[in-house]
Structure 1
Amino acid sequence: MKCVRSNASVTYNFAAATEQDVLAAAEGILIDKLKRLGAITNPSDASDFLRMRLGGLSHEEFHVLWLDNRHQIIDCQKLFTGTIDGASVYPREVVRAALSVNACAAIFAHNHPSGVAEPSTADRVITDELRDALKLIGVRFLDHIVVGADCVSMAGRGLI
């Protein structure tokens, strides 16, 4: 928004916001809300943010919420980008990212562009591999959230 002042009045010129501008603003609002919560204490604390960040994508992306020892957010990183039906995820790169931010805990998230958030067998396998890799460096794995039309917490379902 641009404000133009003249002698008698104030005129506002509104530039058309793109869809990306609106989504970026919404993501900023949600990350601020998460930070105000202080810490992530349950899967629903992060679900709205992750749904906004991943829900509308036409391809898969794999993100990680890195947390400190008190489960406060250090960073949210997009680590991998895939295609319409999959993304390659490499445990070595996840470990490298954890060490780079000095993380104590992690919540994984990825989307299913189909809208069906049911965790696949491949989702379960990579979750186990990532949990084991992070355990070697002392980073706690808290959850893996699959985003579709809704969000499914693998921890909430007892899958991890």
Structure 2
Amino acid sequence: MAIRDWPEGERPREKLLTLGAAALSDAELLAIFLRVGVKGRSAVDLARDLLSSFGGLRQLLEADRQRFCAEHGLGEAKFVQLQATLELSRRHLGSLLERDAALTSPTLVRRFLSAQLRHLDHEAFAALFLDTQHRVIRFEILSEGTLDSASVYPREVARRALARNAGAVIFAHNHPSGVAEPSDADRRITERLREALALFDIRVLDHFVIGDGEVISFAERGWL
């Protein structure tokens, strides 16, 4: 049965307008994005099939171009549309964070950093530079590749912080393995960075390690 023949209260678009987006299932939200189904399958049916094929919503959203476009009912136009939507979401989080002091929005900081780093298939080390009032100045990827003592240089990080006139910084990096538990190398480089930046009166407020659905805070662990 086509969605237009469903009871009005069960149609994804009408349901969203009445109850809000949070009331919809993953399949219903994806169906709105898809707009149409394929022969013999409604958009909701197709959405359910895709979620099953990819193994879940996150895997679908983070699929590369080749994998995404290979699925029946998708293609390059949908891939481009999805990438634009995801980037808009990341920029929206960034704009929200810029309005508030970072320390008064810890949940938003986590969401922003996770949105920036979690989808990467390689390890990346980043910094959120803040002014003395802990308002966001800039987010930057500082290094990409395996995190160890040779990949993140305290002198270079200090140079960038001074160039941004930062009074504080929050570090973050992802673990592509999905396991967020910090390693000994993570703790060592964080301490080296903290000591280097302290010479310039720049505080390291936190270091977040981003895994698959989990974000670990050094500050909450009492390591900073």
TM-score norm. by structure 2 comes to 0.61
Q: Does 1:52 align with 2:110?
A: no
Aligned residues: 143
CA spacing shift, 1:18–1:121, aligned 2, 3 Å: farther
Q: Which has the higher helix share?
A: 2
- Where 1:156 maps in the other structure, the secondary structure is helix
**TM-superposed deviation, 1:18:** 4.8
Deviation digits for residues 73-94 of structure 1 (CA, Å, limit 9, x no counterpart): 00001110114xx361111110
For 2:174, the equivalent position in structure 1 comes to 111
- Whole-Å Cα distance in 2 between the matches of residues 113 and 106 of structure 1? 23
2:177 counterpart letter in structure 1: S
For 2:192, the equivalent position in structure 1 comes to 129
Q: Which has the higher strand share?
A: 1
Q: Does 1:34 align with 2:97?
A: yes
- Whole-Å Cα distance in 1 between the matches of residues 217 and 206 of structure 2? 7
**TM-superposed deviation, 1:22:** 2.8
Deviation digits for residues 20-64 of structure 1 (CA, Å, limit 9, x no counterpart): 42332111010011123x101154331000110000111000110
Which fold has the larger relative contact order, with Cα–Cα distance below 8 Å and residues 6 or more apart in sequence? Answer: 1
For 1:3, the equivalent position in structure 2 comes to none
- Whole-Å Cα distance in 2 between the matches of residues 22 and 75 of structure 1? 22
- Whole-Å Cα distance in 1 between the matches of residues 152 and 203 of structure 2? 18
Unaligned runs of 5+ in 1: 1-14
For 1:139, the equivalent position in structure 2 comes to 202
For 1:151, the equivalent position in structure 2 comes to 215
- Whole-Å Cα distance in 2 between the matches of residues 158 and 20 of structure 1? 37
- Whole-Å Cα distance in 2 between the matches of residues 44 and 155 of structure 1? 14
Asked if structure 1 preserves the Cα contact closer than 8 Å seen for 2:129 and 2:168, the reply is: yes
RMSD, matched Cα: 1.5
1:53 counterpart letter in structure 2: Q
- Whole-Å Cα distance in 1 between the matches of residues 145 and 203 of structure 2? 25
- Whole-Å Cα distance in 2 between the matches of residues 18 and 62 of structure 1? 28
